[in-house]
Structure 1
Amino acid sequence: MKTLVTESVPSGPEGGYPAVVQALRIRGGRPLRGTVDVKGAKNLATKAMVASLLGATESVLRDVPDISDVQVVRSLLEVHGVTISDDGEGVLRLDPSGAVSAHFEEIDAHAGASRIPILFCGPLLHLLGQAFIPDLGGCRIGDRPIDFHLDALRSFGAIVEKLPSGIRLSAPNGLHGANIDLPYPSVGATEQVLLTAVRAKGTTELRNAAIEPEIMDLIAVLQKMGAIISYEPNRVIFIEGVDDLKGYDHRCIFDRNEAASWACAALATDGEIFVAGAKQQEMLTFLNVFRKVGGDFDILEDGIAFRRGAELKAVTVETDVHPGFMTDWQQPLIVALTQATGESVVHETVYENRLGFTRALVQMGADIVVHPEGIADPARRVPRRALEQAAVINGPTPLHGADVVVPDLRGGYSYVIAALAAEGESTVRGVDIIRRGYEKFLDKLSALGADFDVVA
């Protein structure tokens, strides 16, 4: 058994690195070894921050990651009059008592590439009777239509007006409970319904809801605020609207996406990484695949240690909504699969453009063929979806350095890990997007022994 190095990652702001990083020059071929700490999940923290708008008193959110998506939501809340203080240790205090309507130029200026403004609609309609959504950004990994959101808001009684600059919503008669059946268990649409239904008049029944751990944690936040929410088998959630909600005090669930990313980095570089804060229950599906590939892990009270256990083996993976294998996990896993013996297949069933990042891996020496319309497989368990794709990875193939440009958040992380696993020097451009979802990313790479230079 390999000895686990337990050097800790520096605390505080990213030590000595510029605020904006254009590129990394990475010299690969060195295993990553050490400890990284994961804080609260991006996909919970940002939504819990929005939920603070619903409370009549101050909310306290703990273990908030220091990432750009959190800063975007903070800016949007402050534009709407929410007072926010930060203790510098991941604790935010959010006071909505001064909430006001904001002009669309301010919202647009602060939203940036984030798609989070759509989730402000329900709380703002309750609070102010109106809301505005600018053109939405986000990673270019496929269509994320907001129709699910708008249809749900219309069901609650909102009036939706599409304008050249965005979408204006109003609720002159208030919002009421609704029966909503989502055509797909969308995480964002489920969050929209929860954030809107908790103060709508009457009861809301949501069918085909997303049930990700971050959704369950958001329900816990809302229940602390005074909401009445129950869920049943088969993705059914009931929300009984209440007149008033109070603030909450809540510690975010850990970021399982970041935990899985570092686990895949250990596989790809033949290193060993202890992910402090990771928990078994929320990662059961990932851990099963990790073991099938040939990875090994130790589950401890305060985290999980990841390493290669043997020669890496080919696997077939199908992404799906929870409790399936997350789409966010497949990109870093594909990097590791380039070093596995045999033919691996990854069926991407959630986003139609999420395999485009593999072109750069091919440039680095990987043998990957993407099938734009998916491929037939009689052993499939996930229902076939109209826009799915599949990647066939043949390995092992040695990777070599290259000059690549980051396409999106998870793809960008994957490029960095591929460069660290490759022989020679790589330049990875556009890496600043990685800070959207990975706290102190450069500090963590440095503490794990990565050899790189920053291009500001």
Structure 2
Amino acid sequence: MSSTDATPETGTSDDVLIIHGGTPLEGEVTVRGAKNLVSKAMVAALLGTSPSVLRSVPAIRDVEVVTGLLRVHGVDVELDGDTLYMDPTSVESAGVEEINVHAGTSRIPILLCGPLLHRLGRAFIPDLGGCNIGGRPIDFHLDALRKFGAVVDKDADGTHLSAPNGLHGIRYELEFPSVGATEQVLLTAVMAKGTTELRNAAIEPEIIDLICILQKMGAIIKVHTNRVIEIVGVDELKGYRHRALPDRIEAASWASAALATEGSVFVRGAQQTDMMTFLNVFRSIGGAYEVDDDPTEGGIRFWHPGTALKPVAIETDVHPGLMTDWQQPLVVALTQADGLSIMHETVYENRFGYTSELRRMGANIELYSDCLGGTPCRWGRRNFLHSAVIAGPSKLHAADLQIPDLRAGFSHLIAAMAAEGTSRVYGVDRYITRGYENFEAKLLGLGAKIERPSTKIA
């Protein structure tokens, strides 16, 4: 295949990274604010009557998407280094076409609904996209917004919402502790009249950090035991100043890359508190780590100790369980463990699609519809292939890979770096840049042998 050819599947010639595998990753990377918090913190700025300042903002495409959406709604947004300044004092309605252009396939517009209904009395949601990892319906969001008092009208161009009588507090229980639905309720309830009680809420660190932001703005939010959050609506919120918590997903991705390539990576900014479950699994597999808790320059160093990796049986879960976004890079590392490992996915029903590419590289992975974890989950007996058995160690060899989604895509990068030979990975610009800041520069800094088709490695 020449450097100008496209993959026979769906990749394009200008969206490919060539990876020469077999080199351990060695060095240091820095993680900034969490993708799963920063975009929601930007949306929260819409609620304020004064400017907000968000620090440690990563240069990722999701930030560009929200920046565009805020600007078409009249918010003045300026980025200085990794600090974002947002002035929402002149919020205005945006046209359907403008919203569609900036939203693309992002699911973020659904979270603007509550703030826009409070500020303008109306909002619009285009058809939503996102990663193909299983059903993430917006029904939770629309159902909650209706209960708050929103009128929802669907037509050919999307969904229009209005609040002719304002929004009021509700008692609401989620069927599943969905992060997105919890964020929706928080962003809507803080200025709804009366008190909102949300049961079976998500309590991920990014949710707690969003609550901290809203509290700085003047919100009254109480986090009770048993996943209950109580929000007392207020008449007005002001702007905030906040440093986003570090991205624990990116940190874990680099940790798994160090393990799979038999390398050593210091992840500056990684925090032990939010990664405790991952660290336990990492150590159980046989990985080594050391925590530097310096408040400004600290992080966690992850490395392969040189001994055989051990198989494990684990399952994903909502926080404080093993995060679903941690499983894909861990599965790549487990292909090098000595024995049979089990990964039981309980959050999304269709998150093992990426393993077909790993099997083409020589990984021994079998998928099952049975619940192979410690307890049955909601996907059991529904014919979803949501349990994986990984037999190792497997000798991975190079292949041309097509990225299916963001997290699986980084796992493909890890596999290509661990494999013998030269791989081509398609879809890096479409997916990886959504959640990994400067990933190519970071890989090069760690000694990875990578190139674009138009360049050559010296």
TM-score grouping bracket, smaller chain normalisation = over 0.9
Corresponding residue of 1:142: 134
Tell me which of 400, 405, 418 is aligned to 2:397.
400
Corresponding residue of 2:258: 266
CA–CA separation in structure 2 for the residues paired with 1:25 and 1:443: 14
* TM-score normalised by structure 2 residue count: 0.93
Equivalent pair of 1:21/1:431 in contact (CA under 8 Å): no
Tell me which of 421, 424, 430 is aligned to 1:424.
421
CA–CA separation in structure 2 for the residues paired with 1:39 and 1:381: 35
Tell me which of 130, 141, 162 is aligned to 1:170.
162
Corresponding residue of 1:365: 362
Shift in Å, 1:113: 2.2
CA–CA separation in structure 2 for the residues paired with 1:382 and 1:55: 44
1:280 paired to 2:272? yes
Structure 1 outlier segments of 4+, above 6 Å: none
Tell me which of 370, 374, 377 is aligned to 1:374.
370
Equivalent pair of 1:318/1:382 in contact (CA under 8 Å): no
Corresponding residue of 2:439: 441
Corresponding residue of 2:30: 37
- List per-residue Cα deviations over 1:81-121 (Å, max 9, x = no partner): 1001111x210000001110011111111111210000000
Tell me which of 285, 291, 305 is aligned to 1:293.
285
1:106 paired to 2:98? yes
Corresponding residue of 1:312: 309
Tell me which of 444, 451, 454 is aligned to 2:452.
454
- For residue 210 of structure 2, give the secondary structure of its aligned residue in structure 1: helix
Shift in Å, 1:385: 3.4
CA–CA separation in structure 1 for the residues paired with 2:288 and 2:401: 30
- For residue 234 of structure 1, give the secondary structure of its aligned residue in structure 2: coil
CA–CA separation in structure 2 for the residues paired with 1:57 and 1:274: 39
Shift in Å, 1:381: 4.4
Count of equivalent residues: 433
Runs (5+) with no aligned partner, structure 1: 1-19
Shift in Å, 1:173: 0.3
Corresponding residue of 1:12: none
Shift in Å, 1:370: 1.2
1:160 paired to 2:152? yes
Letter in 1 for 2:421: G
CA–CA separation in structure 1 for the residues paired with 2:404 and 2:378: 26
- For residue 74 of structure 1, give the secondary structure of its aligned residue in structure 2: helix
Letter in 2 for 1:22: D
Percent identity of paired positions between Structure 1 and Structure 2: 62
CA–CA separation in structure 1 for the residues paired with 2:367 and 2:447: 33
Letter in 2 for 1:408: D
CA–CA separation in structure 1 for the residues paired with 2:124 and 2:323: 31
- List per-residue Cα deviations over 1:181-230 (Å, max 9, x = no partner): 00000000000000000000000000000000000000000000000000
1:242 paired to 2:234? yes
Letter in 2 for 1:297: Y
CA–CA separation in structure 2 for the residues paired with 1:455 and 1:96: 43
Shift in Å, 1:382: 6.6
Letter in 1 for 2:427: G
Equivalent pair of 1:205/1:237 in contact (CA under 8 Å): yes
- List per-residue Cα deviations over 1:423-445 (Å, max 9, x = no partner): 00100011111010000000000
Equivalent pair of 2:65/2:103 in contact (CA under 8 Å): yes
- List per-residue Cα deviations over 1:27-62 (Å, max 9, x = no partner): 000000000000000010000000000000000000
Equivalent pair of 1:75/1:110 in contact (CA under 8 Å): yes
CA–CA separation in structure 2 for the residues paired with 1:455 and 1:200: 53
CA–CA separation in structure 2 for the residues paired with 1:409 and 1:376: 25
CA–CA separation in structure 2 for the residues paired with 1:312 and 1:115: 38
Equivalent pair of 2:371/2:377 in contact (CA under 8 Å): no
What does residue range 186-197 of structure 1 map to in structure 2 within 5 Å?
Answer: 186-197=178-189
Equivalent pair of 2:34/2:206 in contact (CA under 8 Å): yes
Equivalent pair of 1:199/1:243 in contact (CA under 8 Å): yes
CA–CA separation in structure 2 for the residues paired with 1:99 and 1:305: 44
CA–CA separation in structure 1 for the residues paired with 2:145 and 2:162: 10
CA–CA separation in structure 2 for the residues paired with 1:265 and 1:412: 13
Equivalent pair of 1:204/1:240 in contact (CA under 8 Å): yes
Corresponding residue of 1:7: none
